[in-house]
Amino acid sequence: MKIRHFFTIVLFIQIISFDLFSQPLNIELWKGVIPGSKSNDGYTENTVRRDGRIISCERVVTPELTICLPPSDKASGVAVLVCPGGGYGMLAFDHEGNDIANWLNANGIAAAILKYRLPSDLIMENKSTGPLQDAQEAIRVIRRNSALWKINPHKVGVIGFSAGGHLASTLSTHYSEEIYPAKDDTDARPDFSVLVYPVISFHDSITHLGSRKNLLGPDPGIHQIRHFSNDMQITKDTPPAFLVHSSDDTVVPVMNSISYYNGLQKKNVPAEIHIFQKGGHGYGLSHNGSTESSWPDLCIKWLSAIGVL
């Protein structure tokens, strides 16, 4: 009986381990009341799911992390917070979230897809900091669970696409900004960032006006514009960055990435940028065989070159 009991326990542990490292884990980001939130029973979330996966989100009320871990025998200890884009009006959760997590896992990297709150005066006291609150807390949650998820807490980065790239670059430049009372001293600074066709600047000449309007409102002041133009917020402690953009992007001009890269260079922050002749906007991993589809492989090589992988 004792032997049978022992093997039952071993089997149970194996099942738990298999589930943890093969099935996505959805967890609520905040426990209890979200800092700076406003109650509004009429504001309802619209999340589309297919086969158990989130496909897209609008009017996010409950921020979540979808934790996707690689097989334990292939895990590198690296983790990446994934911020899908959508102009701060929706989240393109499938091709800029689920697909990205699968790619990261295939390279031994843990992924945490962030379903972040989209800025709204109806549920936030200050909508300009709502998404950043979620991103800061997400990095902290990953580090707090690093032992459980077999993650090196010193190898936690962020990747963002379009407006999600703005959030990722905001996290990279505003990680120390005290916008909510953190429950401990866990660091919110990413160790590296990957920014794919990102919104960086909120200045009229190169910004994506839809993202700026959704985050700051229709008539933001000069201080707000400068504060959230992340090329102007770079310091020597801003994490290294890998940037991807296409010259023919008519949604978010390529100068967004160039300005951020130049700012990193001025502060001697390691950075690499790839500007492709074509590709447009919103291509995610891009499977069409054009030159921009090479960025995922280039990114993995860069992570290796800087000593993350």
Closest listed residue to residue 66, CA positions, set 32, 105, 33:
105
Residue 29 has a pLDDT of 97
Q: Which residues pair with 110 in a beta bridge?
A: 79
Token output for 242 = 């890998």
CATH topology of domain 2-305: Rossmann fold (3.40.50)
Closest listed residue to residue 234, CA positions, set 205, 195, 208:
195
Residue 143 has a pLDDT of 98
Exposed, middle or buried, 152 (CB in 10 Å: 0-12/13-18/19+)?
A: middle
Q: What's the whole-model pTM score?
A: 0.92
Residue 22 has a pLDDT of 59
Token output for 134 = 């979620």
- How far apart (Å, rounded) are the C-alpha atoms in residues 251 and 253? 6
Closest listed residue to residue 169, CA positions, set 198, 140, 209:
198
Helices 163-174 and 130-144 cross at an angle (nearest 10°) of 70
Full pLDDT tens readout for the chain, 309 residues: 444 444 344 334 443 443 445 588 999 999 889 999 999 999 999 999 998 889 999 999 999 999 999 999 999 999 999 999 999 999 999 999 999 999 999 999 999 999 999 999 999 999 999 999 999 999 999 999 999 999 999 999 999 999 999 999 999 999 999 999 999 999 999 999 999 999 999 999 999 999 999 999 999 999 999 999 999 999 999 999 999 999 999 999 999 999 999 999 999 999 999 999 999 999 999 888 899 999 999 999 999 999 999
Domain range summary for the chain, segments of one domain joined by +: 2-305
Number of H helices, E strands in the chain: 8, 10
Residue 31 has a pLDDT of 87
150: Cβ contacts below 8 Å, ≥ 6 apart: 69, 72, 75, 77, 110
How, if at all, do strands 79-83 and 156-161 pair?
Answer: parallel
What type of residue sits at position 138? A
